[in-house]
Structure 1
Amino acid sequence: MKKGINIWSFKDGAKIADCIQTAKKAGFDGIELSLNETGELSLAATDKEINEIKARLTDSELEIAGLATGLYWSYPMTSGDAAIREKAVDVGKKQLELAAALGVDTILVIPGAVGVDFIPGSEVTDYEHAYERALESISKLVPYAESAGVSIGIENVWNKFLLSPLELRTFIDAHQSSFVGSYFDVGNALQNGYPEQWIRILGHRIKKVHFKDYRRQAGGLHGFVDLLAGDVDYPAVMAALRAIDYNNYVTGEMIPPYTHHTEQIIFNTSRAMDAILGRQNN
């Protein structure tokens, strides 16, 4: 397995070039980038900007571990507004386009939400309607994913939706495409389940993996803590990943408010991941 770090783990506003340098210095194999509405790597990204990012990665001998985005929180695929759902599909198309250009094999997709407690005023959607709308939206992206050779990775998040590994497995299989799978987040699964069970049930459908840690007793977003400081049974997680022959990226995602956003968190996360993966520290 390869060791990656998500760009959200860095200080807010940090430039991609600086994040790449720090990730390399901290001993990561790759960095997971994010598609944004504006700024660096945005919906309006040009070929020149993409080539500059690729050149920086090449110069640093660092791979791109994945392509995420937070835009699906603003444009949920489950919205009752058809225009918002169409915008979400457009975001997915742009993600796939940029992923192909950057050489990424999987994009992270949040398939909408029934409700989101940590976003004030977010839309609450009937579960049955959410399921139907998410299925329809992802199905629109499948031909683009297959054409680009890039997989759609459905992330398990705190969206009150696709709440069990059995349900997520059914949702993925409904698309009958090897280009639809799971972007499995270990820490997110711990609130109401056991990550190692999710891994065994999802099996080969897992395209990418996020590493986070969580303390159940704390509850809510405050439960997220540094790797190896929470309740995730990482030996069991690693055994489950090896049992399904997973050999792609595991990516640390240390996002606010779970970290103080100092550069040290990048190095701490790298060392913790070395311990989890059984690597020797450099």
Structure 2
Amino acid sequence: MTGFDRRTFMGLTIAGAAGLALGNGVSTIRRDPWIRKALKVGMIAGGETLAEKFAIARDAGFDGIELDSPGPIDRPAVLRAMEASGLSVPGVVLSTHWSKPFNHPDAGVRAEADAALEIALRDCKSVGGTSVLVVPAVVNQSMPYADAYRLSQEAMRRAVPLAGELGVSIAFENVWNNFLLSPLEAARYCDELNDGLEKPVFGWHFDIGNIVNYGWPEQWIETLGERILKLDVKDFSRTKRNEEGLWKGFGVEIGDGECGWERVRASLNKVGYRGWAAAEVGGGDLERLTDIARRMDRVFDQA
């Protein structure tokens, strides 16, 4: 799978931490950090320019920012912000996979989805990212599961030549889309797409909190294994879900829900995961983002 080996990852992390300490006067070098912390760009409140937003994320303790594409990605501005802050853009999130799903019954909409993914792949490469987060399909009463499976895989295969040329992976996220509901099926879906390719293109951007409603993160992690390219981080409370309603389950801070972070860490270590994890929670100002970064360090035991 694409990604950092441990030596490369540690070299980049140590260099980045040293740069932050010198660049903003904050000495926050941690021992052997095995997770590089990112956040979604929309979480950053404040900052009139992209450079200011990157600086806020840096000062909060993050190592990178994920952008949305297609969207207003100003490549020169992004590169300047990266250079000034020392942060990376590890990847981008496809912004159209809910409004224009790859399995839409209208062929015209599917073509628009293909075009959006092409833009996202190119945007990702242009700012040094390594993967595009994709929701592969959306199943509902009017879209049979088998059709969603077939149409989404057809779309993914159409993206292989460009993704391979650019060296950018397509990373599927587990969301509440009524699709790929078991880790065994999720692994098989990915393997079917990679089968026959000289180099794997597809993997998983595994969302730890999203799975808690209908599964256990450690089971998914150990089944997906090296297919996991990146992580999304949030927490979820089954107790709040049961007592207050489904979506209230997300109403807990990272570390305060029922993800079972000790088991998550053990499973990530078991499969040898080292790399990026992006917060996907309600954002805010510097104080709020600093709290999120510290919570991430605690749940990954690198505080």
Q: Answer yes or no: same fold by TM over 0.5.
A: yes
Q: 1:199 aligns with which of 221, 224, 238?
A: 221
- Kindly indicate whether the alpha-carbon contact (under 8 Å) linking 1:65 and 1:251 is maintained by their aligned counterparts in 2: no
- Kindly indicate whether the alpha-carbon contact (under 8 Å) linking 2:235 and 2:254 is maintained by their aligned counterparts in 1: yes
1:231: which partner in 2?
A: 258
- Kindly indicate whether the alpha-carbon contact (under 8 Å) linking 2:38 and 2:277 is maintained by their aligned counterparts in 1: yes
1:44: which partner in 2?
A: none
For residues 213 and 47 of structure 2, what CA distance do their matches in structure 1 show?
30
TM-fit CA distance, 1:15: 5.0
Change (3 A) 1:10 1:66: same
- In structure 2, give the amino acid aligned to 1:227: I
TM-fit CA distance, 1:245: 1.2
- Kindly indicate whether the alpha-carbon contact (under 8 Å) linking 2:90 and 2:128 is maintained by their aligned counterparts in 1: no
TM-fit CA distance, 1:69: 2.7
SS in 2 for 1:167: helix
SS in 2 for 1:239: helix
* 1:98-137 paired onto structure 2 within 5 Å: 98-115=123-140, 124-137=142-155
For residues 100 and 221 of structure 1, what CA distance do their matches in structure 2 show?
34
Q: Which runs of 5+ in 2 are unaligned?
A: 1-34
TM-fit CA distance, 1:226: 1.6
Name the TM-score, length of structure 1 as normaliser: 0.87
TM-fit CA distance, 1:12: 9.4
Name the TM-score, length of structure 2 as normaliser: 0.81
1:179: which partner in 2?
A: 201
Structure with larger Rg: 2
For residues 286 and 95 of structure 2, what CA distance do their matches in structure 1 show?
22
* 1:90-105 paired onto structure 2 within 5 Å: 90-105=115-130
For residues 17-65 of structure 1, give each alpha carbon's deviation from its aligned partner in whole angstroms, at most 9, with x where no partner exists: 332111100011111111144xx22xxxxxxx20221111111111112
For residues 21 and 58 of structure 1, what CA distance do their matches in structure 2 show?
11
TM-fit CA distance, 1:262: 4.5
Q: 1:210 aligns with which of 215, 232, 247?
A: 232
Q: Which runs of 5+ in 1 are unaligned?
A: 42-48, 116-122
1:221: which partner in 2?
A: 247
1:46: which partner in 2?
A: none
Change (3 A) 1:233 1:147: same
- Kindly indicate whether the alpha-carbon contact (under 8 Å) linking 1:8 and 1:253 is maintained by their aligned counterparts in 2: no
For residues 221-258 of structure 1, give each alpha carbon's deviation from its aligned partner in whole angstroms, at most 9, with x where no partner exists: 2211220121111111111111111111011111xxxx
Q: Aligned pair 1:154/2:172, yes or no?
A: yes
For residues 177-225 of structure 1, give each alpha carbon's deviation from its aligned partner in whole angstroms, at most 9, with x where no partner exists: 4110111100111110001110100001111110110011333222112
- Kindly indicate whether the alpha-carbon contact (under 8 Å) linking 1:26 and 1:267 is maintained by their aligned counterparts in 2: yes
* 1:134-145 paired onto structure 2 within 5 Å: 134-145=152-163
Which is richer in helix? Answer: 2
For residues 49 and 142 of structure 2, what CA distance do their matches in structure 1 show?
35
For residues 78-100 of structure 1, give each alpha carbon's deviation from its aligned partner in whole angstroms, at most 9, with x where no partner exists: 11011111111111111111111
Percent of residue pairs identical: 32
- In structure 1, give the amino acid aligned to 2:231: V
Aligned CA-pair RMSD: 1.8
Q: 1:269 aligns with which of 292, 297, 302?
A: 292
- In structure 2, give the amino acid aligned to 1:132: R
1:278: which partner in 2?
A: 301
Aligned pair count?
Answer: 260
Change (3 A) 1:15 1:198: farther
Change (3 A) 1:14 1:109: farther
TM-fit CA distance, 1:13: 9.9
SS in 2 for 1:111: coil
TM-fit CA distance, 1:263: 4.3
